[in-house]
Amino acid sequence: MQNIQNYINGSFQNPIQNKWIDNYNPSKGEVYGQIPNSTKEDVENAYKAAKSAFPKWSQTSIEERSKILIKISELIEENLDAFSQAESKDNGKPISLAKAVDIPRSASNFRFFGNAITQFASESHESIGQAINYTLRQPIGVVGCISPWNLPLYLFTWKIAPAIAAGNCVVAKPSEVTPMTAYLLGEICSEAGLPKGVLNIVHGLGSTTGQAIIEHKDIKAISFTGGTATGAHIAKIAAPMFKKLSLELGGKNPNIIFADCDYDDMLNTTVRSSFANQGQICLCGSRIFVEASIYEKFKKDFVTKVKALKVGHPAEANTNIGALVSKAHLEKVKEYIDIAKTENGTILYGGNKVTVEGFENGYYLEPTIIEVPSDECRVNQEEIFGPVVTIMPFNKEDEVLKMANKVKYGLSATLWTNNLKRTMRMSNQLQAGIVWVNTWMMRDLRTPFGGIKASGVGREGGFEALRFFTEAKNVCIKY
Ligand code: NDP
C-alpha cells in the first residue's frame, strides 16, 4: 500500500483526526493506498505555517525565488520516470502521455514562472508638472490553490508556481482522486530549498478540506480549476469575504472543420483533440462540426482512424487510450452514451466498456463517436468530459458560428480553414477564451489562458497569473 501524508511547514504529517480515504488505481479498479481526509484543523495548521513563512518569503529577492523555482523544475525533470509512473497509476492515463506531456509541462511551469518573475515590471505614470505615480505589485499573503484530477501535477503546478514566484505562501489541495504527484512534489520542494511553510499541501475531500480552504477568512485569494458547479459554489462562499478569485471551469468546445482545410493534418489532430487523455481535457473539441461537402468522407476516415486506437493498460507502450479516472466517472460517461440513444443519436463507433485482459476491473471505455441530428441535444450541450464526441454537418459559416456559440460554456474553439478572411471573422466572433486555428492545444505559457461564460472568470498564464497573485498599489508623489 502506498499511503501519503500532508506536507505542512516543510514536513510530512498525518491528518490530525487520523481520518483516511482510499486511493484507487483506475487501471485495475483496486485500492492501492490511503490519503489523509484532512479537516479544518489541518487546513488551519497549513494556514499558520504559510502565514509565518510569508514575511520572509515575500521579502526574499526575486533572484533567490527564481533560483529555487528553477531548481524545483530541474528536480522534477530528474525524476521524470517516477513522476510519470505515479501520475499514470493514479489517473489511468498512458505512462507515455504523462512522460511526454504532464510531467515535462509541470517542470516547465516552475521554470517559466521562475524566469517570468525576473521580467515582471509595474507601471509608472507621470502627471506632468505635478506628480509621479508608480504602481507597486505586492504579494497578497496566504493564497489557496485547488486543482482537478484530469491533469493532476500539470494544473496543480500551473497555480502554485506563479503564486510562490510572486512572493505568496500557499495552502494547496490537489484532487482527492489523484493526489500522488502532489505528494511527491513536497519532497522535491524541500530538496530544492523552498523554505518551510511557503508551500503546504493538504489532502482530502473537496467538501471538507477544499471547503475549509475557501471558507478560511484569512486565505485572501483562491485559484481554482474544476467543474462549473463547484466554481459557482466557491464564488458564493468567497464573494462576501471579497477574496480574489480565478476560476477555470468546464468546457464544451467546438471543433469547426471547413472543406478548404489541410485535410490530413486536421484529421490526425482531430483524433487527438477528441480523445487525448481519454477525452478528459477541458480543451478537448467534443463537438465536431464538418462542412457538408466533406462530411461523408470525414465520417468514414475519422471512424477508421478511431477504430485503430488501442484501449489498454496505461503502462503498455502501444496504448493510446488508458482507463477513465474513476468508476463513478465511467458510469457518468456511459450514462451520456445512453442519453444520446434516447435523443436519436447514432453511435458511429464505440459506446462500450472494454475489458482489458489481466485488468478486468479497470475503468476502460471505447472511444465513442456519436452522430447527432441536432446541436440542441444534451450530449451536444452538456460537458461529458470523457472519450465521447458528437459530429454533425453544416452548410454555412453563420450557421456553424451560431451553433458553436449556442452553449453555456466558452473555453476554447478550434477552426480548420485556409481562408484568411473567414479565420479573422470567425475568431472575432467565437465566444471562447482561446481560439486555435489549424492546430489544437499548442500552448505558449506567456499567453492568457481561461474562459468566458460558464467556463470561468479571470485568466492564468504569463503576467496575467502574476497580476492575479499580486495586489496593485499606486503611490503618488507630488513634485
Ligand atoms: P471538481 O469541481 O469536482 O473538483 C475540482 C477540485 O475542487 C478538486 O480538488 C475537488 O476536490 C475540489 N472541490 C470540490 N468541492 C469543493 C468545495 N466545496 N470547496 C473547495 N474545493 C472543492 O472538478 P473535477 O475534479 O471533477 O474536474 C473536472 C472538471 O474540471 C471539468 O468540469 C473540467 O472541464 C474542469 N477543468 C477545467 C479546466 C480549465 O482550465 N478551465 C482544466 C481542467 C479541468 P475533490 O476531488 O476531492 O472532490
Q: Are 364 and 387 within 8 A, CB to CB?
A: no
Q: Is the CB of 409 under 6 A from ligand 1?
A: no
Instruction: Tell whether pTM > 0.85.
Output: yes
The one catalytic residue among 282, 366, 377, 460: 282
Give the active site residue among 87, 145, 189, 248.
Answer: 248
CA of 84 from ligand 1 middle (Å) equals 21
What does each of the 479 residues of the chain score in pLDDT, given as a tens digit?
999 999 999 999 999 999 999 999 999 999 999 999 999 999 999 999 999 999 999 999 999 999 999 999 999 999 999 999 999 999 999 999 999 999 999 999 999 999 999 999 999 999 999 999 999 999 999 999 999 999 999 999 999 999 999 999 999 999 999 999 999 999 999 999 999 999 999 999 999 999 999 999 999 999 999 999 999 999 999 999 999 999 999 999 999 999 999 999 999 999 999 999 999 999 999 999 999 999 999 999 999 999 999 999 999 999 999 999 999 999 999 999 999 999 999 999 999 999 999 999 999 999 999 999 999 999 999 999 999 999 999 999 999 999 999 999 999 999 999 999 999 999 999 999 999 999 999 999 999 999 999 999 999 999 999 999 999 999 999 99
Domain extents for the chain? 2-249+455-478, 254-445
User: First and final CA of the chain: distance in angstroms?
Assistant: 68
C-alpha cell at 292: 457538408
Among protein residues, the one with the nearest Cα to ligand 1's atom 21 is 210
Grid cell in block for residue 323 = 482507463
State in Å: Cα 227 to ligand 1 middle: 5
Average pLDDT for the chain: 98
Q: Is the CB of 460 under 6 A from ligand 1?
A: no
Q: Name the class of domain 254-445.
A: alpha beta
The model's pLDDT over 368-411, given as tens digits with 9 standing for 90+, comes to 999 999 999 999 999 999 999 999 999 999 999 999 999 999 99
- Tell me the β-bridge partners of 12: 7
Q: Atom 42 of ligand 1 has which residue's CA nearest to it?
A: 282
The ligand 1 atom nearest the CA atom of 205: 47
Strands 131-139 and 470-478, how do they pair? antiparallel
Distance CA 159, CA 181 (A): 15
Residue 78 annotated among the catalytic residues of the structure: no
Ligand 1 centroid to residue 150 C-alpha, Å: 9
Contact 272, 445 (CB under 8 A): no
Asked whether this chain's domains 2-249+455-478 and 254-445 adopt the same fold, the reply is: no
Which CATH architecture group holds 2-249+455-478? 3-Layer(aba) Sandwich (3.40)
Residue 462 backbone class (left: φ over 0; alpha: ψ -120 to 50; beta: rest): left
The burial class, CB within 10 Å (0-12 / 13-18 / 19+), for 119 is exposed
Neighbours of 40 (CB within 10 A): 17
Q: Is any atom of ligand 1 closer than 6 Å to the C-beta of 432?
A: no
The reply to whether 282 belongs to the active site is yes
The string of pLDDT tens digits covering residues 264-297 is 999 999 999 999 999 999 999 999 999 999 999 9
Report which protein residue has its CA nearest ligand 1's atom 45: 206
Residue bearing the CA closest to ligand 1, atom 15? 206
